[in-house]
């Protein structure tokens, strides 16, 4: 099946360093995000839809995501295959400083599905830009996750709350927020597979 015009999957920052929960806030929501991401990835592979693995190369020397550190590597559960595109970035949006848009345009992609880490950082930034660039964007709520955060006045916010508020901010403005099961059902129906 030719991938031109098919929905593209963006797996954002599914990297080993994001397993270092203490570094990122001490608690993470949605422990099934990677398992759901793997289900979606398998579906995309089975139907030969375009897949883009986005890797964050942090410029913060203390980050687990610095190039050369073990944490920079992709998680084994969603590790790219040799024929799958890898986009490397240094900022939150997968569209900034990369050729992602050019590659998507080259495949005539109009529909994007976004999964990965973390909901309120790189997922949000990429989803907002995707919506602004005119892509028909789907953000998969149970294939994304984030961490607890401490606000500017010392208040600790739970990952679950941050995740839900971010999804609410993005839904029906920048993307359609959807669960894994419903996404796969809709895509199968739309593309008659």
Task: Note the pLDDT of residue 5.
Answer: 84
Q: Which residue has the tokens 């294939």?
A: 143
167/188 Cα distance (integer angstroms): 24
Q: For 66, left (φ over 0), alpha (ψ -120 to 50), or beta?
A: beta
Instruction: Give residue limits of the domains in the chain.
Output: 8-190
70/72 Cα distance (integer angstroms): 5
Query: pLDDT for 137-191, tens place per residue?
Result: 999 999 999 999 999 999 999 999 999 999 999 999 999 999 999 999 999 999 9
CB 79 within 8 A of CB 87: no
Q: Which residue has the tokens 């203390």?
A: 62
Query: pLDDT for 90-112, tens place per residue?
Result: 999 999 999 999 999 999 999 99
Residues 6+ apart with CB under 8 A from 133: 95, 101
Whether 1 has a pLDDT exceeding 60, the answer reads no
CB 37 within 8 A of CB 143: yes
Class level of CATH domain 8-190 = alpha beta
Query: pLDDT for 21-32, tens place per residue?
Result: 999 999 999 999
């Amino acid at each position: 099946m030719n991938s031109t015009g098919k929905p593209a999957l963006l797996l954002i920052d599914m990297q080993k360093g994001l397993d270092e929960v203490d570094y990122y806030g001490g608690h993470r929501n949605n422990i099934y995000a990677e398992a759901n991401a793997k289900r979606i990835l398998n579906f995309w592979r089975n139907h030969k839809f375009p897949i883009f693995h986005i890797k964050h190369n942090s410029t913060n020397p203390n980050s687990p995501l610095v190039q050369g550190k073990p944490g920079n590597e992709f998680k084994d559960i969603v590790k790219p295959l040799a024929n799958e595109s890898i986009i490397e970035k240094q900022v939150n949006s997968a569209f900034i400083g990369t050729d992602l848009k050019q590659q998507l345009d080259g495949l005539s992609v109009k529909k994007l599905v976004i999964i990965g880490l973390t909901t309120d950082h790189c997922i949000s930034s990429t989803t907002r830009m995707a919506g602004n660039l005119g892509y028909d964007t789907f953000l998969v709520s149970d294939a994304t996750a984030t961490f607890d955060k401490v606000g500017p006045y010392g208040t600790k916010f739970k990952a679950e709350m941050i995740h839900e508020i971010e999804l609410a901010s993005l839904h029906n403005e920048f993307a359609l927020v959807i669960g894994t099961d419903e996404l796969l059902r809709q895509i199968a129906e739309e593309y008659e597979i």
